[in-house]
Amino acid sequence: MSKALDGIKILDMTHVQSGPTCTQILAWFGADVIKVERPGAGDATRGQLRDIPDVDSLYFTMLNHNKRSITLNPKTDTGKEIFAKLIAECDVMVENFAPGAIDRMGFPWEKIQEINPRMIYASIKGFGPGPYEDCKVYENVAQCTGGSASTTGEIDRVPMVTGAQIGDSGTGMHLVAGILAALVHRFTSGKGQRVEVAMQDAVLNLCRVKLRDQQRLDYAGEMTEYPQYPNGKFGKAVPRAGNASGGGQPGWIVKCKGWETDPDAYIYVITQAAAFPAFAKVIGHDDWNEDPEWNTPKARLPKLAHMFDEIEKWTMTKDKFEVMNILNPLNVPCGPILSMKELANDPGLRETKTVVEVDHPTRGKYLTVGNPIKLSASESEVERSPLLGEHTDEILKDIVGFDAAAIAAAREEGAI
Ligand code: COA
């Protein structure tokens, strides 16, 4: 089966998480991703959070599947020559170094365009143009500066970062969209372009509903679906809302049977208006359906905390999967809190190749998350990440046009 991005070559200058997430998806779509790494060192994540001594870490292997690795130092003379040839031959260049790093290698955007006017040059930086544009940024900095931390956490407690890597992987996914749009644009324009995503912007985009709420708060001084209503206090900015739903249907996390010993024995339940009568009945509160104090969403709003306490009395009598099995047929949206242990062993996720076992020559078998984006005519097969420089010689021969003597000289010079 052919792949969606067959024939597209990606010059992958990414490292750590945000950029590699992007190029990994492009590789799963079928692009030939050539990961450029510093000779002798490689992507710093190869050595970070190692579980097995001297073996590429899971941090690296899980972000760099289906890529080829070439070692190259573009700061050396021969390195510059090789790099220029790779720019000429590739369709897309992706990088997420600190601001200015590629320019300092001697390859500003103007020069890249000169070498290859069809090149799409995609970058991730922490911030867009402005006072912070030169700052280095990691995941949690982006979560804090993009509005996520301020709006996440328990009511009246410290701001909280989330485990979902919205700053890194979230920005990487935004960059994928930009690159694919630029590739389509190139069909008609014949020209490449720059694609830039700032981590702050990507996080803010994912926190869009909170900017919606800021304006509602500015207007009304309160928001009736927030747990602060009606007895708590609202300040000037959107508050942390615990586990309240971000949408128009109230939701909360409630305990299930076994919560005393199992930290994940909980379920999220949403009291969607249309399904409320059946939900009330199943938890033993058919009385609410006749009572004007309870039988409209508006009447329930000031009593949400009490309502979820009553729901919890029922959910605590059942395990989280029983609750789900009872509520789903009633059209009550709900989701058990699934631990990483449970997800790793979920047969459904294995079946859809969202969780995949991969074999690696030095580490052996490990689990990873496969491509979450499923294309019917371009199925993704997860292939192990490359060893450092594993494909240097073949790339130099096939793409750069070096012979064995030129490769040996480049190695001698420290260019590869
Ligand atoms: N050969 C030679 N030098 C190389 C090289 C190679 N193949 N690849 C990288 N380098 C050099 C760079 O040129 C740079 O040198 P310079 O600063 O002297 O010009 C140097 O390595 C370090 O790059 P830098 O990006 O500054 O790494 P860092 O470890 O200090 O910072 C980040 C890491 C992630 C904080 C930073 O890259 C960054 O802010 N990136 C943008 C935002 C981002 O993507 N953050 C999330 C990462 S998950």
Q: pLDDT tens for residues 336-368?
A: 999 999 999 999 999 999 999 999 999 999 999
As annotated, the active-site residues are 168
Residue 1 binned pLDDT confidence (cut-offs 50, 70, 90):
confident
Q: How far is the CA of 261 from the centre of ligand 1 (A)?
A: 44
Percent residues over pLDDT 70 in the chain:
100
Q: How far is the CA of 159 from the centre of ligand 1 (A)?
A: 29
Q: Which atom of ligand 1 is nearest to the CA of 105?
A: 13
Contacts of 270 (CB under 8 A, 6+ apart): 245, 249, 250, 251, 332, 333, 334
Digit-coded pLDDT (tens) for 239-274: 999 999 877 899 999 999 999 999 999 999 999 999
- Give me the residues paired with residue 229 across strands: none
Digit-coded pLDDT (tens) for 59-101: 999 999 999 999 999 999 999 999 999 999 999 999 999 999 9
* Interatomic CA distance for residues 326 and 388, integer angstroms: 51
At position 278, the amino acid (one-letter code) is A
What confidence score (pLDDT) does residue 358 get?
98
Q: Whose CA is nearest to atom 9 of ligand 1?
A: 38
Q: Which atom of ligand 1 is nearest to the CA of 13?
A: 8
Q: How far is the CA of 98 from the centre of ligand 1 (A)?
A: 5
* Interatomic CA distance for residues 84 and 104, integer angstroms: 14
In this prediction the pTM is 0.96
Residue with structure tokens 């039988």?
A: 295
Digit-coded pLDDT (tens) for 120-133: 999 999 999 999 99
Q: What is the DSSP string of 339-374?
A: -HHHHHT-HHHHHTTSEEEEEETTTEEEEEE--SS-
What confidence score (pLDDT) does residue 184 get?
98
Q: Whose CA is nearest to atom 46 of ligand 1?
A: 138
CB burial string 207-240: b at 16+ within 10 A, e below? beebeebbebbeeeeebebbbbeeeeeeeeebbb
Residues in contact with ligand 1 (CB, 6 Å cut-off): 16-19, 36-38, 72-75, 96-98, 101, 104-105, 124-126, 136-138, 168
Q: How far is the CA of 74 from the centre of ligand 1 (A)?
A: 13
